[in-house]
């Protein structure tokens, strides 16, 4: 294992920690999304306070951060474990940003970026499956759970039925990513100073 392998996980965390919703909210409309009632610093908060274009910019940045963590790690190491940890660290960074006193969003868009960098065609298939529950229920959390579960099932099918060399780590990885989202969702919120 190369020495820089040990730097890829903290790099992933720092990439994910870049507070795109906070930055774009400030730049676009001068709003502070940390004051949102739900306590989340997210693209949805930017949409409510600043509109569609800033919202799309936040989505692009968050997805880009997750994908960048994976792609940089892939370029610099052959270790699947390090690559996966770098992506997980990006989601953790988004949810608990060092730049915002460990506050952040739920990590869904960063998770999509991580999965896009890691397994793009599996993500696309799972996305098509996840459209159905979203159209029926209009609940993004449910459709995200379906998407994550579908990716793990695809990896499992590849391993069992197509005899592909799919690591067990890859199969359990998507649920690990969604666990970060669930932990953030159910986290007890405490009053936090808005100074940055």
Residue 191 scores a pLDDT above 50: no
Q: What is the pTM of this model?
A: 0.91
Position 42 scores a pLDDT of 86
Position 88 scores a pLDDT of 97
Residue 196 scores a pLDDT above 80: no
Average of per-residue pLDDT across 123-139: 93
Position 140 scores a pLDDT of 82
**pLDDT digit string (tens) for 104-125?**
998 999 999 999 999 999 999 9
- Residue 179's nearest CA partner among 106, 79, 80 is 106
Position 195 scores a pLDDT of 43
Residue 192 scores a pLDDT above 60: no
Average of per-residue pLDDT across 6-12: 94
Where do the structural domains in the chain lie, given as residue ranges?
Answer: 5-185
Q: Yes or no: say if 25 and 54 are a contact pair by the CB < 8 Å rule.
A: yes
Position 193 scores a pLDDT of 47
Share above pLDDT 90 across residues of the chain, in percent, rounded to a whole number: 71
Position 53 scores a pLDDT of 95
Confidence of residue 156 (pLDDT cuts 50, 70, 90): very high
Average of per-residue pLDDT across 170-195: 77
Position 185 scores a pLDDT of 81
**pLDDT digit string (tens) for 30-74?**
888 888 766 678 898 899 889 999 999 999 999 999 999 999 999
Residue 190 scores a pLDDT above 60: no
Average of per-residue pLDDT across 145-153: 95
């Amino acid at each position: 294992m190369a020495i820089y392998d040990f730097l890829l996980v903290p790099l992933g965390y720092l990439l994910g920690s870049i507070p795109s919703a906070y930055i774009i909210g400030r730049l676009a409309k001068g709003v502070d999304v940390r004051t949102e009632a739900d306590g989340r610093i997210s693209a949805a908060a930017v949409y409510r306070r600043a509109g569609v274009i800033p919202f799309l910019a936040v989505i692009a940045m968050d997805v880009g951060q997750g994908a960048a963590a994976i792609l940089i790690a892939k370029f610099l190491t052959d270790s699947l474990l390090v690559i996966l940890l770098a992506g997980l660290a990006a989601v953790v960074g988004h949810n608990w940003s060092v730049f915002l006193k460990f506050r952040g969003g739920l990590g869904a868009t960063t998770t999509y970026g991580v999965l896009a960098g890691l397994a793009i065609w599996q993500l696309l298939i799972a996305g098509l499956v996840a459209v159905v529950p979203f159209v029926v229920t209009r609940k993004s959390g449910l459709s995200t759970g379906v998407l994550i579960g579908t990716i793990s099932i695809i990896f499992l099918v590849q391993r069992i039925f197509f005899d592909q060399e799919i690591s067990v780590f890859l199969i359990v990885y998507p649920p690990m990513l969604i666990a970060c989202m669930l932990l953030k969702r159910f986290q007890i919120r405490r009053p936090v100073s808005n100074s940055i």
